[in-house]
Amino acid sequence: MLRQRVITALILVGPLIAILSFAPYPMQAILFALVATAGGWEWAALVGAQRATSRTLYAAIIPLLCIALWAGLALDGSEAALNARPLLAATALLWSAMLVGLKYYAAGRGAWRFAWLRAVMGWLMLAATWLAVIVCLTLINGPFVVFLLILTVAAADIGAYFAGQRFGQHALAAEISPAKTWEGFWGGMLCVALLATLVWQNLPLSQLHLGWGSLMVLGLATAGASVVGDLTVSLLKREVGLKDSGSLLPGHGGLMDRLDSICGAAPVFALGLLLIGY
């Protein structure tokens, strides 16, 4: 399983780097909207949609939301990050509320049985993730910033996997995802802390004003949000009786099994960058 996960990840890295390195900004926006739409196709299964027609209709809302955000927030202009800040803040607040929902999952689990709630969550999560990625692309060294976001999420995931395998004893959220442990969580945080330190030591001249503490808080907050995103989708899969959201990515499951962490992390990462004055 691990070997298959690594091979799939390596295959995905090539197209990602190519898109970030060579595609013009509008094309990047379109391509990432298509990724979000593909995620919407898989999310439709969490809503209970089984037929291809209903899943297509559900997923089709995602690009419409992306278009509305692009036009409404003038994401093709120089004020894109400033215009998007209130929505990023609102999304980060919603993820904070979701943390409470995860903690008291047993007490409020009846709410997750409403298909309309799961449907709205999917639209909001995927559209907000797309928005956060687009905002990151508008910043200085935008493609690298997006790659750093994905690298941060990957570091948290890799650290959690190996620390959990070696030291895991105490369940992080037993009712939602029994395999995740506190030891794995802190292993992921340690990896992200090391990554933040490495980034700080190699900042470009234009970003030397960023302090180690700011980058550390940003990295750890992003990693924590990625765990919340992962657990949220795990919660919904448990409610509808799914193990994986799909089978598109060998060793990983479906696309949403990779996007779930990014959905939690991206808005927090983008907002954090704006707040620390990147």
- pLDDT tens-digit series, residues 162-174: 999 999 999 998 8
Q: How far apart are CA 186 and CA 206, in angstroms?
A: 32
- pLDDT tens-digit series, residues 39-78: 999 999 999 888 999 999 999 999 999 999 999 999 988 8
DSSP for 208-259, please give it.
Answer: TTS-HHHHHHHHHHHHHHHHHHHHHHHHHHHHHT-SSS-SSBTTTBSTHHHH
| Token pair of 174 as six digits | 């037993």
Task: Count how many Cα atoms sit within 13 Å of the Cα of residue 261 in the half-sphere of its side chain.
Answer: 22
Q: Phi first, then psi: what are they for 179, rounded to 5°? A: -75, -20
One-letter amino acid for residue 124 of the chain: L
- pLDDT tens-digit series, residues 179-208: 899 999 999 999 999 999 999 999 988 888
- Using 50, 70 and 90 to split pLDDT, how confident is the model at 5? low
First to last CA, the chain: 38
DSSP for 107-152, please give it.
Answer: HHGGGGG-HHHHHHHHHHHHHHHHHHHHHHHHSTTHHHHHHHHHHH
Question: Pairing relation of β-strands 171-173 and 177-181?
Answer: antiparallel
Q: How far apart are CA 134 and CA 21, in angstroms?
A: 15
Q: What pLDDT is stored for residue 103 in this prediction?
A: 84
* Spatial CB neighbours of 245, under 8 Å, sequence gap ≥ 6: 42, 43, 45, 46, 233, 237, 253, 254, 255, 256, 257, 260
SS3 180: strand
Q: Phi first, then psi: what are they for 81, rounded to 5°? A: -65, -40
pTM: 0.93
Q: Mean pLDDT check: name the lowest of 174-183, 228-237, 253-262.
A: 253-262
> Is the torsion defined by CA of 197, 276, 271, 75 positive or negative?
negative
Q: Mean pLDDT check: name the lowest of 4-18, 35-49, 130-144, 194-208.
A: 4-18
Q: How far apart are CA 241 and CA 46, in angstroms?
A: 9
- Tell me the domain boundaries of the chain: 2-275
Q: How far apart are CA 161 and CA 252, in angstroms?
A: 13
Of 221, 225, 213, give the one whose Cα is nearest residue 272.
Answer: 221
Q: Residues of the chain with pLDDT > 90: what percent?
A: 70
Question: Looking at residues 126-139, what average pLDDT do you find?
Answer: 97
